[in-house]
């Protein structure tokens, strides 16, 4: 059934997104650094913004030759998203803060060093909502790749009564995707300082 749900999810996602209009804000660094020079970054957005991202990241990056790897949980929802991402051409590493986290992060780091840009929802898959967990900090410090905060909001959308108020845009909506300025870290960057910096950047982009 998971395979069927993944296939249906992919077609539903693409059908829905093709009825919407996308606007992008503050894309300068990403376009110059990632698309023109093919350098690697870490894309970060809150878990409740996950729904449109397989479509958006595929059309903006994967299909232009940029390699992406997604950190996906072992949950059923994570399995569905993982299969969708694989079907679109991206790579997937499984893991979460509650199960397989350390091993998953090590595999994610190895993928990153092989030329992939990781995608992480820093508060997922179980929350707390809008709190940056250690996985993103570990990856940013170990790789040295800049963290690119991202968010989106829609002119009309449905919010589920889940822990993160998961969002799905409605047909015909205008979707505004906003990028924050890159955040650079080294192994010497204090962890809590980096956590606060990433959270602040993400919250500045978050329109609820």
What are the tens digits of pLDDT across the range 79-116?
Answer: 666 666 676 678 888 776 555 568 888 989 999 999 99
Task: Supply the pLDDT for residue 203.
Answer: 98
Q: Rounded to an integer, what distance in angstroms lies between the CA atom of residue 125 and that of residue 112?
A: 21
Over residues 27-43, the mean pLDDT reads 91
Task: Supply the pLDDT for residue 75.
Answer: 64
Task: Supply the pLDDT for residue 127.
Answer: 87
Give the 3-state secondary structure of residue 26: coil
Q: DSSP string covering 40-96, please? A: --EEE--GGG-TTHHHHHHHHTGGGT--EEEEE-SSHHHHHHHHHHHHHT-EEEE--
- The partner residues of 176 in beta bridges, in order of sequence, read 23, 153
Lowest mean pLDDT across 2-11, 62-71, 115-124, 167-176: 2-11
Question: Mean pLDDT in the chain?
Answer: 88
Candidates 44, 29, 30, 39; CA nearest to 140 is 44
Candidates 91, 142, 72; CA nearest to 113 is 142
The pTM (predicted TM-score) of the whole model is 0.91
């Amino acid at each position: 059934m998971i395979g069927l749900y993944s296939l249906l999810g992919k077609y539903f996602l693409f059908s829905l997104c093709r009825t919407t209009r996308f606007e992008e804000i503050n894309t300068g660094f990403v376009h110059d650094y990632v698309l023109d020079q093919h350098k690697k970054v870490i894309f970060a957005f809150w878990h409740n913004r996950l729904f449109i991202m397989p479509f958006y990241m595929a059309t903006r990056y994967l299909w232009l030759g940029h390699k992406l790897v997604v950190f996906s949980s072992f949950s059923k929802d994570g399995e569905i998203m993982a299969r969708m991402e694989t079907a679109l051409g991206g790579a997937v590493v499984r893991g979460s803060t509650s199960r397989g986290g350390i091993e998953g992060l090590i595999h994610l780091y190895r993928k990153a060093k092989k030329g992939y840009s990781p995608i992480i929802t820093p508060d997922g898959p179980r929350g707390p909502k809008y709190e940056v967990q250690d996985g993103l900090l570990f990856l940013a410090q170990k790789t040295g790749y800049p963290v690119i905060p991202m968010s989106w909001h829609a002119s009309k959308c449905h919010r589920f009564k889940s822990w993160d108020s998961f969002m799905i845009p409605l047909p015909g909506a205008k979707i505004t995707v906003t990028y924050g300025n890159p955040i650079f870290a080294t192994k010497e960057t204090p962890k809590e300082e980096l956590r606060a910096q990433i959270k602040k950047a993400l919250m500045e982009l978050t329109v609820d």
